[in-house]
Chain A
Amino acid sequence: MKFLFTSFGIWSFTILCLIVFGRRERLCSVAGGLGVISGSLFAIASGVTTLLSNSYECFYLNWNYIGDKISFALDPLAAWFVIPVCGLSLLAAIYAIAYDWDNETGYSKSFSWILFILLLASMVLVICAANGVVFLMAWEVMAVSSFFLVIRDSAHSHSSQDAGWIYLIATHLGTVFLVILFLLAQAQTGSFDFMVWEKQGLNIPNRSLLFLLAAIGFGTKAGFVPFHIWLPEAHPAAPSYISAVMSGVMIKTGIYGLIRSIGWFGAPIPHWWGIAVLVIGIVSGVLGVLFAIAQHDLKRLLAYHSVENIGIITIGIGVGLVGLSYDNAGLIFLGFSGAVLHVLNHAVFKGLLFLGAGSVLHSTEEREIDKMGGLLKRMPLTGVAFLIGAMAISGLPPLNGFVSELIIFISGVHSLLSKDVTIGLCGAAVVGGLALIGGLAAACFAKAFGIIFVGEPRSDKCSKAEESSPLMTIPMLVLAMLCLVIGLSGAWLVAGVAPQIVQNISKNTSLDFAGYQSQLSNALMFVGLTGGLLIVLLALFVLIKKALIKNRTVSYGLTWDCGYTRPTARMQYTASSFAQPFLELFKPILRTRHHYHVHMPDNMFPQGANFHTETPDICHTEVYRPVFLKISEILMKFRFLQHGYIQIYILYIALTLILLLIWKIR
């Protein structure tokens, strides 16, 4: 705990320095970066020590606020979430120094860094809070600071401002559900403290209602379908390193809240909770990846992939919940381990991908995939890092995405092999759903990497792109190395930390996880060994090939073009064409709109033509927009109350006061 306080101290001190430094832009950047880095290092240290020692620390401030003490707690589950939050923010801060160095941003550098530190500190506070009021206050600070960061660069762009507003409204609507949940809990138990809720077990007015409130409230932040519509708006609009932090770790605070809330409802939990969460997970995963395939904008594509990966994490949580309701140790252990490990893995590779996208954006000033190409030769380090990130998110061995997906797959098989038909059906759904999600994700990233980084450049800006500065590429390469390391060493992670975390979640000490843990460690050890074997074989084959072609002729020429005399870069396959079979097959869900503009030729030479597809988010256009339009229609009828005369407004205030007086006197 002491380390954590040091972190908060460093961050507060940095904010003070930033306010003092004011206008001196470069100094602000460096100070802000150093502050974030050192604070994060201390926080990571505290998280690691808590995990290694399996301890539980609690800290109370003797400050009676609404009848309770302010309390913070750091247990293995919270520590596991603190580590990616601070780790990714650390790397994003290094990246940010270089990203903003020469840029004209909307705010002054000091304000920008103050907001970043506020975001980071509030995320850590949300995870460590053990009291409802502290939690909600930190939650609010997190939402507001990220809102300001989202609209930072939007001075000239209406769509980015709209994106910021959609984000703010969505996160506040979600928070409303959380506030209702916490107030109901306090009404029942008389306190806002999480420990008290766990001991008593919330069940008034109805456990399922409370669970739904928690699911919707935390789900809005996490990005469950259909509450996800703010994600594809806000993440592209924000500066790239903020998108990395938001997508990689901020939405995980929603997952953290959901997992925490499981302990509040008391055991045993009804069966349908787990099944409902599982269904939400599969739907989010499939819809997220389908919409991702249809996107043209790189950052929007990555935002939809966040929805998909949250879906995968939720599938793991759903399996764990089903296990909790049936008291099945295997499902609990495997489901929650897979979900929690995927939280870390997603933070790593999604952060990597967003930083890579930022690097591409920085060099080419272009966000549309169809205008890029051939960037691997011009930006080799970014390209390699993005390739590793793309392979990791597709769940390809030997990288880290495969490890967590394997754990969730194994949990699905365990369900399938059980005697109970309901559990078995869940298992079949898990395996089928995850297989479909994995296949579609691999297709989407083959498209993204293939069109952006290889081939010929499709626009002038891309042919003149240059590699980003080392401060930007080093964080990406660190994350890429981390992908490989976690992929090879999954067994040790599981053996070391999974039992404590799962124990923390399930709180049932009679269940025996040891058998499942050793089986899983065995499996992951083989995966790691296969990865190692792969690298050895690859080295061997490379040496053989080099020896083989030493005396052969190696000639170069153009790509075979079927005899066409003048091949151009525009003749390459485009991203829209790559995605077309998917859009065609899933038309009822995606409803892609095609826009054609053709100028008919009036002589023998062809005239220009234009083709453009657009895939609006189905939840946005079919569900939210009509509802909100209807609401605003109804509210328009009350417009007559707003007419601008100050005297009448004062009359309203006076009337209200008189009514309150009459009501209280009676």
Chain B
Amino acid sequence: MTISILLKTTISILASLILAPILLGIINRVKAGFAGRVGQPLLQPYYDIFKLLKKGLVYSTTTSWIFRWGTLVSLAVIVCALLIVPCGPFPALISFKGDIFLLVYLMGVVRFITVISALDTGSSFEGMGSSREMFFSALAEPALLLALMGLAKVTDSFSLTSIANTLSATNWFNNGASLALLMGTLFIVLLSENARIPIDDPNTHLELTMIHEVMVLDHSGPDFAVINYISALKLWIFSAIIAPVLFPIHTNNIIADFSVWLSGMVLISIAVGIVESSMARLRLTVIPQFLLGATALAITAIVLTWIG
């Protein structure tokens, strides 16, 4: 690894770490715009995180060390996951043939630890959220992996960095339908994993929408700041998987490539905001069908690559 590559990778990692909460801000502004309000400032997620970091902590007597240190384990895991995803023209630090699976299963670790910390509080609200969370992600994981397999089939490589580098406009020309279907599946999985409507409402934690928000009810202070940051990073990672498919442009100018990639990320956030503002949340019993439909789209995309 030469110094320049090391420098580029460090810059991209730092950029990801710093810019991640902006996506949440963009989504909130879009939703506010649709509702006719001005909405929170774009940097509000940052203000929230810093405010929470300064507070004290309240722990429940039922909880054990899992609850106290679980958030930090999740943070370490998701930072490692971030190192697998390429940021535009900058290759990922951890890149090998099969790193797709490492990424998906590292997200699985985060989910597992969140669920166990939730059950640690001994509250039925958190229990309900944990049950639904594991249920929907068990159905979303095949969709995600099959969609990534579809991308691998289109580009004939199975490392995220090489997929991002190989995707180009000719792929859209040859396998446009497959890529469109794959983007659809990946977008649906993004909505599912990041607790967006139509799967879950990130604003409330009433019984009807008890999935992600309710699992973190008992966290306070710096713990809750870490949790908010983790959800921002998760959204960033999922968007970063879709962005190279959306704008597969490779000029030799690093700044141009990176800006195009960033605009792709912003576009995805705006799309999430639009979807959130124009749809209602689905009934909980309909969500498995929705996710199975996403899986069917991914399988259709893979099957189409054999014909086209």
Contacts and interface: CB of A to CB of B under 8 A. Distances in A.
The short answer to whether A and B are in direct contact, CB under 8 Å, is yes
B238 interface: no
Report which residue of B96, B97, B122, B135 has the largest number of chain A beta carbons within 10 angstroms of its beta carbon.
Answer: B122
B94 interface: yes
Report which residue of A442, A552, A558 has the largest number of chain B beta carbons within 10 angstroms of its beta carbon.
Answer: A442
Category for how many chain B residues contact A: 35 or more
A555 B98 contact: no
Interface in B127-144: 127-128, 130-132, 134-135, 137-142, 144
B240 interface: no
Contacts of B108: 394-396, 438-439, 442
Nearest to B140: A439
B139 A439 contact: yes
A537 B112 contact: no
Contact of B149 (A428, A519, A573): A428
Contact of B96 (A409, A439, A526, A579): A526
B122 A552 contact: no
B138 A440 contact: yes
A554 B62 contact: no
Contacts of B53: 548
Contact of A374 (B62, B127, B285): B62
B61 A557 contact: yes
A549 B96 contact: no
B243 interface: no
Given A397-B106, A572-B123, A409 B98 contact: yes
A278 interface: no
A111 to B, nearest CB: 42
B180 interface: no
Given A538-B73, A545-B222, A435 B141 contact: yes
A529 B123 contact: no
A438 B76 CA distance: 22
Interface stretch (A9-17, A444-452, A628-636): A444-452
Interface stretch (A96-104, A461-469, A580-588, A599-607): A580-588
Interface stretch (A116-124, A170-178, A410-418): A410-418
B72 interface: yes
The secondary-structure label for the interface of chain A is helix
A123 B121 CA distance: 45
Given A377-B64, A454-B116, A552 B131 contact: no
A396 B122 contact: no
A450 B295 CA distance: 29
B299 A428 contact: yes
A557 B156 CA distance: 55
Interface in A398-446: 402, 405-406, 409-410, 413, 416-417, 421, 424, 427-428, 431-432, 435-436, 438-440, 442-443, 446
A438 B141 contact: yes
A431 B149 contact: yes
Contacts of B302: 416, 428
Interface string B51-91: 00101111111111010010011011101100100000000
Interface stretch (A197-205, A228-236, A559-567): A559-567
B98 A439 contact: no
Contact of A406 (B57, B102, B132, B146): B102
A428 B303 CA distance: 10
Interface string A542-557: 1001001100111111
B281 interface: no
B5 to A, nearest CB: 16
B96 A559 contact: no
Contact of B137 (A439, A558, A573, A582): A439
A436 B217 CA distance: 29
B306 A421 contact: yes
Interface string B114-128: 011011111111111
A561 B123 contact: yes
Contacts of A562: 125
Contacts of A541: 72, 75-76
B256 to A, nearest CB: 30
B213 interface: no
Contacts of A440: 138
Report which residue of A424, A428, A440, A522 has the largest number of chain B beta carbons within 10 angstroms of its beta carbon.
Answer: A428
A356 to B, nearest CB: 15
Contacts of B118: 450
Contact of A424 (B131, B288, B306): B306
B170 to A, nearest CB: 18
A456 interface: yes
A553 B54 CA distance: 11
A573 B119 contact: yes
Contacts of A373: 122
A559 to B, nearest CB: 4
Contacts of A436: 138, 141-142
Contacts of A438: 105, 108, 141
Contacts of A573: 119, 124, 126-128, 130-131
Interface string B201-220: 00000000000000001100
B145 interface: yes
Contact of B56 (A431, A447, A553, A558): A553
Contacts of B128: 573, 577
A35 B241 CA distance: 56
A523 B55 CA distance: 42
Contacts of A522: 96-97
B47 interface: no
B230 to A, nearest CB: 12
B218 A560 contact: yes
A297 B105 CA distance: 28
Contacts of B111: 442
A406 B124 contact: no
B221 interface: yes
A419 to B, nearest CB: 9
A557 B56 CA distance: 14
Interface in A130-185: none
A451 B135 contact: no
A416 B301 CA distance: 13
A484 interface: no
Nearest to A407: B98
B158 interface: yes
A557 B60 CA distance: 5
A534 interface: yes
B66 to A, nearest CB: 6
A530 interface: yes
Contacts of A387: 66, 116
A421 B58 CA distance: 58
A435 B100 CA distance: 12
Interface in B227-254: none
Nearest to B217: A560
A409 B218 CA distance: 37
A402 B106 CA distance: 10
Contact of B122 (A402, A446, A559): A559
A376 interface: yes
A534 B141 contact: no
Given A376-B66, A534-B76, 12 more contacts: A402-B102, A413-B158, A428-B146, A446-B116, A526-B95, A549-B222, A555-B56, A555-B58, A556-B59, A562-B125, A578-B127, A581-B131
Closest 4 pairs (CB-CB, A-B): A573-B127, A450-B119, A439-B138, A443-B134
26 contacts: A410-B101, A416-B149, A435-B146, A442-B138, A446-B119, A446-B134, A447-B131, A450-B116, A454-B64, A454-B119, A455-B120, A455-B121, A522-B96, A526-B102, A530-B102, A534-B77, A548-B53, A552-B57, A553-B56, A554-B57, A558-B62, A559-B121, A560-B217, A581-B131, A584-B285, A585-B135
